[in-house]
Amino acid sequence: MKSLLLILVPLVAAALALAWPGQRTRPWLLPAAGLIHAVLSLWLFLEPPVVAADAWLGFDPLARAVLPVVSLLFLVSAWYAVSYLRIRAERPNRVFIAALLAVLGLLSAGHQARHLGLLWICTEAVTLAAVPLLHFNGTPRAFEATWKYLLVGGTGIALSLLGSLCLGYASLYGGGDGHLTFVALMGQGAGLSRPWVLIAWVLLLVGYGTKMGLAPMHTWKPEAYGEAPAIVGAILAGGVTSVAFTAILRVRAVVGAAGEGGMADHTLLAIGLFSMLVAALFLLGTRDFKRMLAYSSVEHMGILTLGASLGPAGVAAALFHVWSNGLTKGALFLSAGNLRRAAGSPSMDEVRGMSTLTPWSAAIFVAGMFAVTACPPFGPFFSELKVVRAALETGHGLATGLFLCCLLLAFFGLTRVVFGIVDGRPRRAAKAAGKRFKESAGVILPPLVLLGLSLWLGLCPPRMLADAWAAAVTQLYPTP
Amino acid sequence: MIDSNLNVLIGLAMGLNLLALGTSRLPALIRAMSVQGVILGVMPLLMEHQLDWRVLLVAVATICGKGLLIPGLLRRAMRTVQIDRELEPLIGFVPSLLLGAAGTIAALALTHLLPLLPEHAGSLLVPGALATVLTGFILLIGRTKAISQVCGYLILENGIYLFGLLLIKAMPLLVEAGVLLDLTVGVFILGIIVDRIQRAFDSLDTRKLTALHE
């Protein structure tokens, strides 16, 4: 019941937001729904319900290992959104708030979907619900970004439907009775038709990989993250990508049960490393600090995929990284939003000296940059260390070397841009804009809290979290 | 008997793919797409021996959606925006026709390599689906106007629908309903965006969408 409320509460709040008359009071619906959602997901996390094996929806161990961090990220972003939408009072926010709440509801459904078709419907619906978020700013550049997002994302989603149908046919050919829950598919195991499973795997990996933003299907990401408001970037990077990642994990478990796990792991390893490499090279070239965050997100999606290819220990590390990356990236996006607003431009050619204009946001941005490039003692350092350990234990020495090289290149790229905008003397035009932007508690505390959570994950991660990740791994790699 | 009727229809749909690839006029492309939608909608009626309401629903929804509603919206968008009716290809018409024809042959050859259930072995559904998906991709990549890209996307969806027909008996209605619902909503939103792009750029040429790049 509570797991259904996770989906229904945000959707009802979205309907309420559409009907709500007051433009100024409407943003409070976001933290209200976010708080209920966070309480519910924490409750479910502490007392996991029993999920029936053939249930289409349910708070199963994998949902338990990922959904709470999405909920937490949404709550903090919603808190930031109240201040943000007060600054942007000139833009109508009815559709924006409704779409944001709908995205939360559909993300909850997608994380809990245990049925191949239902998972696809949720992912498709999230893709469509995110469209109004991307063109909130209403500029021609925002429309361009939305168009690319829809075209690339729509094609990806079409391919994942084709992949789902192929997996369905694999089950039908193997004598399946048309049940497409992941449990039923895994139960069929070696009975699935191998050629169809392989075709399905490729299509689903490309399809959901597009949603995740793996290279070379990442092309929508820099445009979308560059042009959308900061909260949208935070939720897309921390929430929407994680639903695609859990989808890939669920499908990978079916492919593994069909006896093609080794092949699946090879493709995951290759596409993960390729994403990291592409992202690292683009990070060395980009001059826009919001697009920089997008490439950094591509890089971290590569790390997740690499982790997923390394067997049980790697998957546990990847789930850890979903948490540490989501929270740290959230802090970076929100502080970057402040910098963007204060500076009036996202390009390092026009922005410098932010440490004197907006000292708090600049400090959080720099600390977040160190956190996301895996400097201790923040969360990403420990999760990436676990990925490295899993890689070495499974004998992937070369992959580990490449992984570390990409991290180093990304570190160069990120520091180049971040210190370029933080250091130096402010431009005069930016000074004038900076006077208008006040670093109120409402825009400083949320990213600070996220950064604190990332630190907490690194220094003293609670025992329960590690247990939740281990339980999810057991779900994905059942012992025969 | 039923199977051969179905194969004739799939053959027609594949022919329409080539027509869509070869035409230089936007209205002709939309017409090819809408006729293909109607043909696709009739197919489930031929496949089932006894009609149940679920199959009927899929058929009616497909004919209305793919055959009437979406082409109508596209024509309306074309009129209100008053764009030039000529298609400007990135991949020329003859090369795209050749690609489409080669893809169709490859799809037929590839189907022999795939394991198929006995009741699907003689059917053109799988090669038809593969060829249509490929056509959709060529149009998506090879045409510059926003409306023609939408047409390409729809033809891609048509190919996926053809593949879905293999599973219409075994798979719950959920998947089919999801296809139709999302397709309609997707195009609806695409249409709004087309409209907005027009207002922002006074053109429907996606080549002008180049402000964002490294």
Which of A136, A165, A167, A210 is the best substitution to test chain B (most B C-beta atoms within 10 A)? A165
Instruction: Say what the pLDDT of residue B122 is.
Output: 79
Residues of B in contact with A145 (CB under 8 A): 212
Average pLDDT, chain B: 79
Segments forming the whole domain that contains residue A468: 2-476
| A314 CA: distance to closest CA in chain B (Å) | 33
Distance between A246 CA and the closest CA of chain B, angstroms: 20
Partners of A162 on chain B (C-beta within 8 Å) are 133, 159-160, 163
The C-alpha of B117 sits at a distance from chain A's nearest C-alpha, in angstroms, of 6
Distance CA A345, CA B82 (A): 35
Of A286, A293, A311, whose CA–CA distance to A391 is shortest? Answer: A311
- Token digits for A457? 């994950």
ipTM of predicted assembly, 2 dp: 0.88
Which of A121, A173, A286 minimises the CB distance to B214?
A286
pLDDT of res. B23: 86
What pLDDT score was predicted for residue B46?
82
Using CA atoms, how far apart are residues B58 and B181, in angstroms rounded to an integer? 11
Q: Are B73 and B188 in contact (CB under 8 A)?
A: yes
Most confident of A144-153, A243-252, B77-86, B167-176: A243-252
Q: What is the pLDDT of residues A306-319, one digit of tens each?
A: 999 998 999 999 99
Residues 218-247, chain A: which have Cβ within 8 Å of B?
Answer: 222-223, 226-227
Select from B163, B178, B185 the Cβ nearest to the Cβ of A117.
Answer: B178
Say whether B182 and A178 touch across the interface (CB within 8 A).
Answer: no
Q: Is A477 on the interface with B (CB under 8 A)?
A: no
A82 CB within 8 Å of a chain B CB: no
A28-42 residue pLDDT tens = 999 999 999 999 999
Exposed/middle/buried for residue A441 (C-beta within 10 Å: 0-12, 13-18, 19+): exposed
Q: What is the mean pLDDT of residues A279-284?
A: 93
Q: Which residues on chain A are in Cβ contact (under 8 Å) with B180?
A: none
pLDDT of residue B16: 93
Across the interface, whether the CB atoms of A125 and B153 are under 8 A apart is answered no
Identify which has the larger pLDDT, A468 or A90: A468
Q: Is A158 in the B-facing interface, judged by CB distances under 8 Å?
A: yes
C-alpha distances (whole Å) from B168 to each of A160, B96, B108 are 18, 32, 22
Residue A377: is the preceding peptide bond cis (ω within 30°)? yes
> CA-nearest residue of chain B to A198?
B114
Return d(Cα A161, Cα A279) in angstroms, integer. Answer: 27
Token representation of residue A408:
């180093």
Q: Which residues on chain A are in Cβ contact (under 8 Å) with B164?
A: 165
pLDDT classification of B1: cutoffs 50, 70, 90: very low
Measured between beta carbons, the chain B residues lying within 8 angstroms of A118 are 174
Contact at 8 Å (CB) between A163 and A198? Answer: no
- Which chain B positions have a beta carbon within 8 Å of A222's beta carbon? 212
Q: Could you tell me which chain B residue has the CA closest to the CA of A281?
A: B214
Strand partners, B89: B143
Q: Which H helix or E strand runs over B7?
A: helix B2-22
| Chain A residues whose beta carbon lies within 8 Å of the beta carbon of residue B134 | none
Q: Which amino acid is at A453?
A: L
How far apart (Å, rounded) are the C-alpha atoms in residues B52 and B178? 19
End-to-end CA distance of chain B: 58
Average pLDDT of the residues in A270-286: 94
- Dihedral sign (CA B169, B175, B176, B177): positive
| C-alpha B200, offset from chain centre | 28
pLDDT digits (tens, 9 = 90+) for B25-49: 888 988 998 999 899 888 888 876 6
A196 close to A170: Cβ distance less than 8 angstroms: yes
> At B145, is the secondary structure helix, strand, or coil?
strand
Give me chain A's average pLDDT, please: 90
Q: How many domains does chain A have?
A: 1
Distance CA B153, CA A430 (A): 43
Contact A318, A469 (CB under 8 A): no
Numbered residues of chain B with Cβ closer than 8 Å to any chain A Cβ:
113-117, 133, 140, 146, 149, 153, 156-157, 159-160, 163-164, 166-167, 170-172, 174-175, 178-179, 182, 185-186, 189-190, 193, 196-197, 200-201, 206, 209, 211-212, 214
Supply the pLDDT for residue B177: 56
CA dist A221 and A233 (Å) reads 10
A373-397 per-residue burial string, b: 16 or more CB within 10 A, e: under 16: bbeeebbbbbbbebbbebbeebebe
pLDDT at B42: 87
CA distance A162 to chain B (A): 6
**Min CA distance, B129 vs chain A (Å)?**
10
Kindly state whether A393 is in contact with chain B, defined as any CB-CB distance less than 8 angstroms. Answer: no
Q: What is the 3-state secondary structure (H, E, C) of chain A?
A: CHHHHHHHHHHHHHHHHHHCCCCCCHHHHHHHHHHHHHHHHHHHHHCCCCCCCCCCECCCHHHHHHHHHHHHHHHHHHHHHHHHHHHCCCCCCHHHHHHHHHHHHHHHHHHHECEHHHHHHHHHHHHHHCHHHHCCCCCHHHHHHHHHHHHHHHHHHHHHHHHHHHHHHHHHHCCCCCCCEHHHHHHHHHHCCHHHHHHHHHHHHHHHHHHHCCCCCCCHHHHHHHHCCHHHHHHHHHHHHHHHHHHHHHHHHHHHHHHHHHHHHHHHHHHHHHHHHHHHHHHHHCCEHHHHHHHHHHHHHHHHHHHHCCHHHHHHHHHHHHHHHHHHHHHHHHHHHHHHHHHCCCECCCCCCHHHHCHHHHHHHHHHHHHHCCCCCCHHHHHHHHHHHHHHHCCCHHHHHHHHHHHHHHHHHHHHHHHHHHCCCCCHHHHHHHHHCCCCHHHHHHHHHHHHHHHHHHHCCCHHHHHHHHHHHHHHCCCC
pTM, two decimals, is 0.92
Residue A114 contacts residue A57 (beta carbons within 8 Å):
yes
Residue A462 has pLDDT above 60, yes or no: yes
Among chain B residues, the shortest Cα distance to A295 is held by B214
- Choose between A74 and B185: higher pLDDT: A74
Looking at CA atoms only, how far is residue A94 from chain B in angstroms? 17
Task: Say what percent of chain A tops pLDDT 90.
Answer: 61
| Contacts of residue A452, Cβ cutoff 8 Å, sequence gap at least 6 | none
The pLDDT value recorded for residue B49 is 64
C-beta atoms of B115 and A196 within 8 A? yes
**Is the confidence at residue A217, as pLDDT, over 70?**
yes
What residues does each domain of chain B span? 2-208
Residue A433 has pLDDT above 60, yes or no: no
Question: What is the rounded average pLDDT of the residues B107-116?
Answer: 88
User: CA-to-CA distance for A74 and A78, rounded, in angstroms?
Assistant: 6
Rounded Cα–Cα distance for residues A221 and A227 (Å): 10
Test A165 with B170 for CB contact under 8 angstroms: no
Convert the pLDDT of each residue in B148-203 to its tens digit. Answer: 888 888 888 889 888 888 887 777 555 565 565 556 556 555 655 665 565 655 55
- B97-111: per-residue pLDDT in tens? 999 999 999 999 988
Higher pLDDT, B117 or A297: A297
If you average pLDDT over residues B125-153, what whole number do you get? Answer: 87
Report pLDDT digits (tens) over A335-351.
999 998 888 888 888 88
Name the one residue in this structure whose structure tokens are 């999302």: B182
State the DSSP string of B47-114: H-SS--HHHHHHHHHHIIIIIIIHHHHHHHHHHHHT--SB--BSS-HHHHHHHHHHHHHHHHHHHHHS
